[in-house]
Amino acid sequence: MPYTDLPVGHPAGLARLPEEPGDFDAFWAGTLRRSRDVGGEPVLTPVTDTELVTVDVYDVRFPGWEGQPVAGWLVVPSEAEGPSPTVITYIGYGGGRGLPTDHLLYASAGYAHLVVDSRGQGHDTPDAHAGTGTQWVNGFMTRGIEDPHEHYYRRLITDCVRAVDAARLLPHVDAARIAVQGASQGGGLALAVAGLAGRTVAAALPDVPFLCHMRRGAETATEGPYTELVHHLRHDPRRDPARVFATLGYFDGVHFAARATAPALFSAGLMDPVCPPSTVHAAFDRYAGEKYLREWPFADHGGGRGATAAEHLRWLRGRGLAPAARRT
């Protein structure tokens, strides 16, 4: 596979960034208010059949879009004393929260770790509102594509912001030290939350983020969810691409990045056919806070793979999010 669209260290250099909707801020203020006004608090239930001895696991249910329950796992070090710095993880496209044993890294390093299920993608958080659009088997990109108020990502991003609201109420969580993290779709969601949740987020870790400069992604990606947009527009050439991308403008990471101020560590694979590096650079260049970009020159959509974990932990500690104290 050749390099995609950026050499090592080259700025995105895109002359045409996605157009920001004029009512972007009002749209999201109203969206979040609509769900927060419903109220509700998270519910924790201990999970005792994991066979794990160094971490404690809780099933979490918290109110998301319009108060609908969203599932999650909370994994915490068994020996932690008091509230801990916390990582909230959002999941990649087509996946859900999985099993607690899938998520041991951050708790093993001393952090409380909240893993958020993706509505309609995981098994534990349904999305009854499928919306309209050309549907691929498990595709979500065109659900509600004719109207941003009906689009799937309005609901999912709201869930992800409400996960921060819920985490701040948990006794295990240091509310002043919450980082948001994810890869691919999860990275795009972390970026959206960093832009919408403001100072309640202390750090962001968007790896190979999806949902950034989505028109560019549709024009250049050769694999993955951006190709759903190509299929949608190709299926009926009478559809107006401008209308499609006007809807997606409300969910584009480039616009969230311009509103995010928490320190952020991005990553990009420079041979990524799913989220081409220019789309990541477009969001990185607009990011308003302290920012760093780790480029992996020969990486595909896997980015730095296992090497990413150690970089995350070192970087978080350098931002003042040290692990929780241990009992002696």
pLDDT digits (tens, 9 = 90+) for 215-224: 999 999 999 9
| Sequence-distant (≥ 6) Cβ neighbours of residue 309 within 8 angstroms | 105
**Tokens in use for 92?**
């990649």
Confidence of residue 162 (pLDDT cuts 50, 70, 90): very high
For tokens 């920001």, name the residue: 20
Q: What is the DSSP string of 3-47?
A: --S--TT-----S-PPPPPTTHHHHHHHHHHHHHTT----EEEEE
pTM check: above 0.85: yes
pLDDT reading at 291 higher than 90: yes
Closest CA to 132 of 151, 156, 106: 151
Show the beta-strand stretches assigned E in 29-102.
Answer: 43-47, 55-63, 69-77, 84-90
* Residue 162 · residue 35 · CB < 8 Å: yes
- The pair of structure tokens assigned to 278 is 């220019």
Secondary structure (DSSP) of 239-250 = S-HHHHHHHHGG
Residues identified as active-site: 184, 272, 301
Amino acid 2: pLDDT: 42
Sheet with 264-269: strands ordered across: 43-47, 55-63, 69-77, 112-116, 84-90, 173-183, 203-207, 264-269, 291-296
- Of 225, 226, 284, the closest CA to residue 14 belongs to 284
**In this predicted structure, which of 211-215, 285-289, 319-323 has the lowest mean pLDDT?**
319-323
| Strand (E) or helix (H) holding 281 | helix 277-286
pLDDT at 237: 84
- Across the chain, the runs of DSSP E, i.e. the strands, are 43-47, 55-63, 69-77, 84-90, 112-116, 173-183, 203-207, 264-269, 291-296
Q: Which amino acid is at 149?
A: H
Tokens 């990502």, residue located = 153
Q: What pLDDT sits at residue 131?
A: 58
pLDDT tens digits, 164-203: 999 999 999 999 999 999 999 999 999 999 999 999 999 9
% the chain with pLDDT above 90: 86
Distance, in Å, from the CA atom of 137 to the CA atom of 163, rounded to the nearest integer, reads 27
d(CA 160, CA 27): 16
- Give the model confidence (pLDDT) of 268-282 as tens digits: 999 999 999 999 999
Q: Is the pLDDT of residue 81 over 60?
A: yes
The residue assigned the tokens 């799913």 is: 274
pLDDT of 134 over the 50 cut: no
Determine the pLDDT at residue 138.
53
pLDDT tens digits, one per residue of 3-52:
456 644 455 455 578 999 999 999 999 999 999 999 999 999 999 999 99
Which pLDDT band, with edges at 50, 70 and 90, does 129 fall under?
confident
| Separation CA 129–CA 285 (nearest Å) | 34
Intra-chain end-to-end CA distance of the chain, in Å: 52
